[in-house]
Structure 1
């Protein structure tokens, strides 16, 4: 990782310090003026308070036009951005009728399937006409269509696992699945740079959480050996189960996991493995099957394989691929499957179509030509 120049760091921190100081000063005088006028809280504490509220009012509002910019086109390599204007020092922004053509450096659309595609787009439009934009129901009620069953079978075949289950949101796939797999009395050993969805899912589970140094099998072994020897906190009973969680590609660093090294340690200590391939599935490997294919690891050795459809497949949602017994358990115990609205049929069709292109089942050779350049985050064809 390249460190920024010292002058850049210094001026950036000085700028934030200046904004922070003037913001606190303005808040101080505002509180005095409000106290002089009248207090109308009626005994209620303010709902929004603390540093987050201060940052929003005094920092974010001053530069909010740099973020959350409305997009008026598909997330292709270039997209149209709606212009906005403000008449109150950027406290509020109003959209205009004008748009600007901008280079897209912030999209998940790794392989370009989210834009107009000759194979995917017509099939998605047809599914919209046939199934509507939403099932308006959970899978266990009236939200299970032919497309959902086909998608789960295709995902399982694509990642080479016996079965799969799909969800309408990638973040929820982690945060809802982990508490369904492990609970109190269990141990989660998590990479220090794992995604927030994994962190929250681990916390919701009630299991004990230990962190190992990023991509460091030696430290992972140290943590596992120590925890197995000590057992559960207070009682020192053996752990009910141990799950090691890592990512295929770490989204903020763009760094691949040391999967062979971590797997060797997990096998040695009989720990379950949970692999998050949100950023790697479809993008790397000879046929796009992710880090297992790239690094020569048998998918059968990974107990839980998780991934999302928002990156390489140009859609939304996520999946869990595992043994038939685990998937059966998740379908009967996971709240995100039982209570949440199922993934929309057009979104499911988009994944099915994109996956068939990658597999070469669309009648063309595009799948064998697609590749992903991690260094520059750009997709192209040979």
Structure 2
């Protein structure tokens, strides 16, 4: 290690140590409510947004960025459709920052379907579906999703995040237990908190630990729900679904799989993790997914047996008290699903691109973490400061990739997260990796 590289690493360690200490100071300095006292004893901080710990953390990050001359890598404005390629600040870029895995957002047939839906139904259904917001497109999409999965029925909601929150929050209660992978998405955790159920996590993809946990805890709850993801968006890996199904049967619990990133990506025809492992989709109690990635729209869905869907359709607050999915969004998702079924070669090409990228990165001795080489591969670079600087340097050379920073991941695991698209060419993947390599060396 050279003297300059050692000094750089030492500086970054000191920066991070100072950041962690200042964040802890913010938390420790947060005023507490007095046990008793007059109304004028209420601290001013309780009525000011700029005194909240959350804002203080944002302010601290901005201050640090300015101090070290780092421009924010967030909220880049894309001037057009963001697929394998995009335009930022008037410059064309190779885009690795979007979930448009199969290139269907912006597809002419998808655009035409959305435009036709607006012409016929308007831009909004203007009410909850149960009272006055149902349109033919809603049931057409839900029936198509259920058929695609091979289950009884499906229900679509206006937000992927809200789908997890309202489904988990509605189905479970204080006498129940929710067990999830430690890398579970925020929406899963928020749904568990809303339910009031006891919540426990197990080490990432460690199903032996899950088995031990269930042996210890199953008898202490009425209903138990295991929640995992079909593909984890931070790492690009996935769980052993057959083993999970065996555990759910053994311990008599429910199994929920969030397919936000595996739908359209895994399996020979893009039917997700069940197709990848050749398992009967009925073996999973709750299938969840989003419409905003492979399906080129916005929203979420739940698929499963009829009793589950009827329960959610009539009683889940996030569906019952929310406006229905906008007609152009339903139409776009339905058109994208049709293309997925008509053109399965999109899936195989995406998988080829994913394998190529993973192998090429490893040949360049880059740390690809747990990635299995599908549509998501992280390149772990170390510190958050290094990740931000590399992201900025790549953008200058026409490559857009977002950094994932502490505290979203451990500081030494800060990374650049590459989302692959079926329309990325091998030459573009090669150029992007070699450009990154020149800045790391």
TM over 0.5: yes
Which of 136, 151, 155 in structure 2 is aligned with 1:146?
Answer: 136
- Matched pairs, number: 335
Mapped partners of 2:269, 2:339: distance in 1: 11
Q: Please say if residues 20 and 58 of structure 1, whose CA atoms lie closer than 8 Å, have aligned partners that are also in contact.
A: no
DSSP 3-state at the match of 2:313: helix
Q: Please say if residues 346 and 422 of structure 2, whose CA atoms lie closer than 8 Å, have aligned partners that are also in contact.
A: no
TM-score, structure 1 as length reference: 0.80
- Say yes or no: does 1:70 pair with 2:77: yes
1:45-99 per-position Cα deviation (integer Å, ceiling 9, x unaligned): 33332543233224226356432122221112222224xxxxxxxxxxxxxxxx2
Q: Please say if residues 79 and 103 of structure 1, whose CA atoms lie closer than 8 Å, have aligned partners that are also in contact.
A: yes
DSSP 3-state at the match of 1:314: coil
Question: Alpha carbon RMSD of aligned pairs, Å?
Answer: 2.8
Mapped partners of 1:158, 1:66: distance in 2: 37
Q: Please say if residues 358 and 370 of structure 1, whose CA atoms lie closer than 8 Å, have aligned partners that are also in contact.
A: no
Question: 2:13 — aligned with what?
Answer: 13
DSSP 3-state at the match of 1:255: coil
Consecutive unaligned residues of structure 1, counting only runs of 5 or more, are 25-41, 83-98, 232-238
Deviation at residue 203 of structure 1 after TM alignment: 0.9
Q: Please say if residues 176 and 224 of structure 2, whose CA atoms lie closer than 8 Å, have aligned partners that are also in contact.
A: yes
1:281-332 per-position Cα deviation (integer Å, ceiling 9, x unaligned): 1111011100000012210100000001111111110100011111001111
Question: 2:212 — aligned with what?
Answer: 222
- Describe how 1:66-215 pairs up with structure 2 within 5 A: 66-82=73-89, 99-115=90-106, 117-215=107-205
Deviation at residue 14 of structure 1 after TM alignment: 2.9
Mapped partners of 1:309, 1:104: distance in 2: 20
TM-score, structure 2 as length reference: 0.70
Which of 289, 293, 298 in structure 2 is aligned with 1:307?
Answer: 289
Q: Please say if residues 220 and 262 of structure 1, whose CA atoms lie closer than 8 Å, have aligned partners that are also in contact.
A: no
Question: 1:259 — aligned with what?
Answer: 241
Deviation at residue 22 of structure 1 after TM alignment: 10
Q: Please say if residues 284 and 371 of structure 1, whose CA atoms lie closer than 8 Å, have aligned partners that are also in contact.
A: no
Worse-superposed segment, 55-64 or 254-263: 55-64
Deviation at residue 6 of structure 1 after TM alignment: 8.0
Mapped partners of 1:216, 1:126: distance in 2: 47
Mapped partners of 2:7, 2:278: distance in 1: 44
Question: 1:318 — aligned with what?
Answer: 300
- Relative distance call for 1:365 and 1:59 in structure 2 (3 A) is closer
DSSP 3-state at the match of 1:171: helix
Q: Please say if residues 357 and 367 of structure 1, whose CA atoms lie closer than 8 Å, have aligned partners that are also in contact.
A: no
Question: 1:379 — aligned with what?
Answer: 421
Question: 1:29 — aligned with what?
Answer: none
- Relative distance call for 1:327 and 1:13 in structure 2 (3 A) is same
Question: 1:53 — aligned with what?
Answer: 55
Mapped partners of 2:186, 2:8: distance in 1: 28
Question: 1:31 — aligned with what?
Answer: none
Mapped partners of 2:83, 2:333: distance in 1: 17
Deviation at residue 17 of structure 1 after TM alignment: 5.2
Mapped partners of 2:22, 2:189: distance in 1: 35
Mapped partners of 1:316, 1:201: distance in 2: 19
1:169-201 per-position Cα deviation (integer Å, ceiling 9, x unaligned): 000000111011111111111111111100110
- Relative distance call for 1:114 and 1:264 in structure 2 (3 A) is same
